[in-house]
Structure 1
Amino acid sequence: MGEVVPSNPIARVGLKLRRVARGLRGWSQRKVGSTRDMLLVANEVILRLDVAQESRALSAAESWLRRSLKLKVLGLASLERTIARQRARVLGLRDKDASAQFYRILSSGRRQRCCISALRCGERTATDLAGKVAMATDYYVDLLGTTRPREFDLSLQALGLPRVDLAHLEARFTEEEVWAALCAMPSNKSPGPDGFT
């Protein structure tokens, strides 16, 4: 029994796309096969040839086979990456509505991702910049609260701790200090974003 052809032109396009995808999957299985299996087999043969090369010199045929397999592994790895990229696109399309509106939204998605079009808090909605800024400020002020006068204070002077002048710690670094610190580091290390190697 054949498939029912829908009257909606968008649904007909979706039906044709599904048929093409099904045909491509069948062709891929018949002509290409599983790239993952081919990669595993090629890498296993290369490994065995490498192990054999450690104990003896490879013959001319074995050297040719090893070189050609290495080239095929590069091609298969590239093909597998391409298939994975395409599969991700197909999965994204399968879950969405394949309409013209979907494709327009997809093409302008980057611009829309970089913009917050509206904010809603309770019953209020803000679409202009000043309203969104005010709404966000009000929300976080309510969330974090405001400072209140405290009933009790802690007096560090009453504890009798010795006072230490630490004003020198706030002084700017000089170029000589930075250069001395860099020269004191091991030659094979570099500081990370936090200053540690």
Structure 2
Amino acid sequence: MEHSQFLPLVESIWTQSIHYADAAKRINAKMKVLRKHLKSWAKTLSNIKTDIADINALVAMMDTIENSRNLSDIESSFRDRLKNHLTHLLKQQKLYWQQRSKIKWVTLGSDNSKFFQSLATVQKRSNNIASLQTSDGSIVSTHEEKASLIHTAFKDRLGQTEPCSIPPDLLNLIVPHHDLSCLEVSFTHEEIDNIIKALPSNKSPGPDGFNIDFIKKCWHIIKMDFYDLCNQFFDGTLCLQSINNSFITLIPKKASALSVNDYRPISLLSCTIKLLTKLLANRLQAQGLQADIDSLKAELGLPFALEIIILASWAIWTTRNDWIFKRIVPSLYSCRKRFKEELKWLVHRAKRKAYHNMEGWVQAFA
């Protein structure tokens, strides 16, 4: 992204006309086209390592000439330009290894040495799961066997849903806020800009192939499409299917991971979904609801109280949206029903150490 041709290329591709009225589909289509062109453009770039070696040789030659005579103004200026270009290439090389390695030392600004480059290469190779150990101790190494083993393991971990009921006084624990009209105000450009600035950088890309660093770097080019995205999301006319997907990847819990239980799954979301969820979260925090959430957690007295609060808020929010966009009359019954449906899945997604406590809490409803 630090290349001089990067931003002009992004602007030329992004400003091309895409005939989608829906902002989510339009952004998704533009990212697909841009990703294709960036891959082709990257193949035309010269090798950074070779360029650095050539420039170092030229600078050394100029230094040797200077030892025998004074450099002319043109030669001195030429050497200064070589050194400036060398600094720029070294910065690009460091960013390359930083993106490839995700090593703490590089993130903190340590020297871009061969030692860290070799660690990054080893780490990239270790991202591939070569083999897995089954429960009986046997080893599987083919793609079909590994896929079947992972699918079976997580299917057993999720389990099956069971009917449960909800305590009648749960919703009474929520402190009512009588004036929440500010939550229904349209998103402003300044609000969206501040969210983009606050999002963390140096994160792995999602299904769209782009991370927050790209969004920040090219924000002046792509921001109008994202403004439309947020406005359509607020109006309830946005089709989220084109962007509401994620990559589930397995992260090893320890150095020598062997079985499926030695890995934990994480979900990589697209930048567009991250922006929308952060907008909603900031709206709630701005209303001073954090104190109420802490109070509700204390009332529940459960290690998974926050998950219950999130599910209850989601049930209320979707019931409200049905009334606004579908004219479905809201009721406490429909809100509780949605909450109960998601709560059943919550229990089976719990970690093993918290499963029994959550299962007992759910069964206590009846």
Query: What TM-score does the superposition give when structure 2 sets the normalisation length?
Result: 0.23
Using CA pairs below 8 Å that are at least 6 residues apart, which structure has the higher relative contact order? 2
Q: Answer with 1 or 2: which has the greater Rg.
A: 1
